[in-house]
Amino acid sequence: MFNNIPFLKRFSTPLYKNTIAFTGKKVLLMISWLPVAIIFNEHVAYVGKIEGSSMRPTMNPSSTSLQDWVLLWKFNVKDNLKLDDVILFRSPTNPNKVLCKRIKAVQGDIVSTRHPYPRETCAIPRNHLWAEGDNIHSIDSNNFGPISKGLVIGKATRIIWPPQRWGTDISKGGRECRMSLITREYDDVEEVKTE
């Protein structure tokens, strides 16, 4: 075909044919690695952008500064969710939305809730978490109750953008909401406080 149209005759030369074949092969090779990249993003690690002010001052410290990007660690995270971890999870009220909050209580704990939760306390069921934003104004477990671990997508381990926020410690924040550590009625409060 290329030989008939004079203008396109140059594309029939061996140089062009080889270049096209070469590029084609390289593109196919890259495509064949795409599922591996997808699996890595789904199950090992990904990058997430934090939007909103519910984790202030730990993340997005002011509305004028750049939004934080975090390294989202997914590998083996479901069994290692601990108190004070910052997690990203699917919102129970809107499955297309991903929220970023901090774990403030785990299964078995009794939590002293904040407005607008309809009850004073809440017992966390098996394999559920109580997630609160570091900021007082946040939509979190005080609105939708404890969340199942099955909704957790991953753990935010460190801030990777903007560069001046590298190395920020995000491991502490939020209020203490577990009844056993708030009230002074327990005899062994000294023992508990040293942890």
The DSSP symbol for 136 reads S
The DSSP symbol for 101 reads E
Q: Would you count residue 118 as binding another protein (CB under 8 A)?
A: yes
What is the rounded distance in angstroms from the CA atom of residue 192 to the CA atom of residue 89?
Answer: 29
Q: Would you count residue 115 as binding another protein (CB under 8 A)?
A: no
Question: Alpha carbon of 56 to those of 4, 44, 63, 68, 151: distances in Å?
Answer: 68, 27, 10, 11, 23
Least separation in angstroms between CB 79 and another protein: 9
Q: Which amino acid is at 151?
A: L
Candidate residues 93, 164, 168, 171; the one interacting with another protein per rule CB under 8 A: 93
Q: Would you count residue 117 as binding another protein (CB under 8 A)?
A: yes
Least separation in angstroms between CB 184 and another protein: 27
Least separation in angstroms between CB 70 and another protein: 20
Cβ-based burial of 88 (10 A; exposed 0-12, middle 13-18, buried ≥19)? buried
Closer Cβ to another protein, 72 or 159, answer by number: 72
Closer Cβ to another protein, 151 or 156, answer by number: 151
Phi and psi for 159 in degrees, rounded to 5? -85, 130
Closer Cβ to another protein, 61 or 145, answer by number: 145
101 flagged as catalytic = yes
What is the rounded distance in angstroms from the CA atom of residue 37 to the CA atom of residue 173?
Answer: 33
- Which active-site residues does the annotation give? 54, 101
The footprint of another protein (CB under 8 A) covers: 32-33, 35-36, 38-39, 42, 78, 89-96, 117-119, 125-128, 143-151
